Amino acid sequence: MSACHKGDKTMIKTFRRIGIFGFILLTIQAFSASRMVPTNHGETIPVQEHRVVSGDVDLYVRVAGKLASGRVVLALNGGPGVSSRYMTDLEVLAGDDLALVTFDQRGVGRSTAPALEVSNFSFEKYIEDIEAIRQTFGIKSVHLLGHSWGGMLALKYAVYHPDKVDSLILIGNGPIKDSELKAFLIKIRARVIELIKQGIIDGKLERHSDIYPAYLSDPRYKPQFELIPDLNEPIQNLTFQAIAGYDLTNDLPRIHKRILILWGEDDPVGLDVAETTKTALSGAQVELVVIKECGHFCQEKPEEFLAHIRTFLNPDRNNGPRPPIRGRPTLERRPPNVPDPYNSDHLHRSRRPCQSLWNGKN
């Protein structure tokens, strides 16, 4: 720090205010009838939005495709503390023979929050929410797809409910132990500061989404919408407090499933985390695929990611090339009186920058 110019000190001080880890009988209340979503290859996919009650929270759930097909991919987004909006890109996988389910995690997006106490944001509570969705829709078992923090949840769920999991797809999963997370935070801090100096990231860091270029292979890549929605600081803080000191290493050998790990070659989480995860999954059939010129988000190389996912889910089928992805599916028409779930007026979130990861509390 003593060697930094005054401007550098200001950037670093500002950056430290930002968090970055960009990481039961149940009732169901469907609040929209089936709508049709266009895909990028001339088909349409039915999409429904639902409310699922899990304990003391009300989860916003979105279902693309047909649950009756019996083949369900349940997608878990990264965070914690951000919505599932960016995961709806994966709805292009859905159809008559497969359903893709996404949901906002507790306290985020359109889902309600429990009392803001550490005990309400443990791994166990998040796993209960996943199980709530499975039970509510009567799904026998699921293919779990987890990105970043969602990958950690997918692994945890597979340990708790092995008979409810068909397979696992991990996209840039989060570190499997707390020490790896701390190492990642050091690397990502340095990358953000460097990109601020290059003028790629705004040094004011007024929003959590301002730091997304640090997660990408090409920091100048511009997605069609925010990859990292605004952070809900209280939810992230409470979650990291709840899982402080975590270590999944000894749990993972208990998983005996087919597992696909997709990893961007330039993912700042580090390829060493992918290798550590694969090694720990000693009882599983693990395939690790590294995607070149890609960082932490599959949106940089969507065709490659989707091709690998389709092949993994359909090993006995012809998974030939499809037209390129040119945008995420969206509802053609929202039912009356149902607001856009990702409109800023309806997000349960805080615009204040996250501090807990930078003040030594985690």
pLDDT digits (tens, 9 = 90+) for 73-98: 999 999 999 999 999 989 999 999 99
Q: Which residue, 113, 96, 97, is CA-closest to 105?
A: 113
Spatial separation of the C-alpha atoms in residues 172 and 146, rounded to whole Å: 8
* Residues 91, 96, 97, 100, Cα dihedral to 10°: 20
Q: Confirm if 157 and 141 have CB atoms less than 8 A apart.
A: no
Phi, psi for 110 (deg, rounded to 5) = -90, 0
Place of tokens 């340990």: 159
**Sequence-ordered strand ranges (E) for the chain:** 28-30, 35-38, 44-54, 57-64, 72-76, 99-103, 142-147, 165-171, 258-264, 285-291
**Which neighbouring-strand residues pair with 289?**
262
Q: What is the pLDDT along the chain (362 residues), one digit of tens a residue?
A: 434 444 444 444 444 444 334 332 233 333 443 444 444 444 677 899 999 999 999 999 999 999 999 999 999 999 999 999 999 989 999 999 999 999 999 999 999 999 999 999 999 999 999 999 999 999 999 999 999 999 999 999 999 999 999 999 999 999 999 999 999 989 999 999 999 999 999 998 888 788 889 999 999 988 776 666 678 989 999 999 999 999 999 999 999 999 999 999 999 999 999 999 999 999 999 999 999 999 999 999 999 999 999 999 998 765 444 444 333 333 333 333 334 444 433 333 333 333 333 333 33
d(CA 301, CA 294): 6
SS (H, E, C) 260-304: EEEEECCCCCCHHHHHHHHHHCCCCEEEEEEECCCCCCHHHCHHH
Percent helix, strand and coil across the chain, each rounded to 5?
35, 20, 45
Position 357 scores a pLDDT of 35
Contact of 62 with 89, CB cutoff 8 Å: no
| Cβ 75 vs Cβ 84: under 8 Å | yes
pLDDT at position 162, please?
97
Cα–Cα nearest to 213, from 84, 108, 90, 299 = 299
Whole-model pTM: value is 0.81
What CATH fold (topology level) applies to the domain 6-358? Answer: Rossmann fold (3.40.50)
Q: Backbone phi, then psi, for 8, in 5-degree steps?
A: -65, -40
